[in-house]
């Protein structure tokens, strides 16, 4: 039987930047491996015009690191927020706050919806 190649859906993985400077502490206990988070562009961010914030519900928990946010910003800015999904993929309660959570961004699988 011939095997079918299935490419990875994974696009990028990174630690949440600025976690200790935002409201992640309010939802810390709710953030588990597999928890879905949302990427939102912040074109009016005074520090980075390509900033992409990470939200859990209505709580901003940090940012995509600035050296990895440009492509995500472009897609989000032009309304293509359905192209990918983001999830918590690592939790380390004992690490420095900037290293406690890692996010993986994957390509959305729309094949079942066609």
- DSSP assignment, residue 28? G
Nearest alpha-carbon partner for 17 in 112, 114, 113, 99: 99
Report yes or no on 54 lying in a domain.
yes
Helix, strand or coil for residue 63? strand
Answer whether residue 35 is part of any domain: yes
Distances (CA, A) of 3 to 22, 60, 80, 109: 46, 42, 32, 20
- What is the rounded distance in angstroms from the CA atom of residue 70 to the CA atom of residue 73? 5
3-42: per-residue pLDDT in tens?
A: 688 888 888 999 999 988 888 888 988 999 999 999 999 9
pTM of the prediction? 0.88
Q: How many domains does the chain have?
A: 1
Domain range for 102 is 10-107
Q: Does the pLDDT of residue 95 top 70, yes or no?
A: yes
């Amino acid at each position: 039987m011939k095997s079918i190649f299935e490419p990875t859906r994974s696009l990028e993985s990174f630690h949440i930047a600025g976690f200790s400077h935002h409201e992640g502490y309010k939802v810390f206990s709710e953030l588990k491996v597999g928890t879905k988070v949302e990427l939102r562009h912040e074109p009016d961010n005074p520090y980075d015009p390509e900033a992409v914030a990470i939200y859990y519900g209505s709580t901003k928990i940090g940012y995509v690191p600035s050296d990895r946010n440009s492509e995500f910003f472009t897609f989000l800015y032009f309304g293509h927020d359905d192209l990918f999904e983001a999830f918590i993929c690592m939790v380390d309660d004992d690490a420095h706050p900037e290293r406690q959570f890692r996010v993986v961004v994957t390509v959305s699988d729309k094949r079942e919806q066609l």
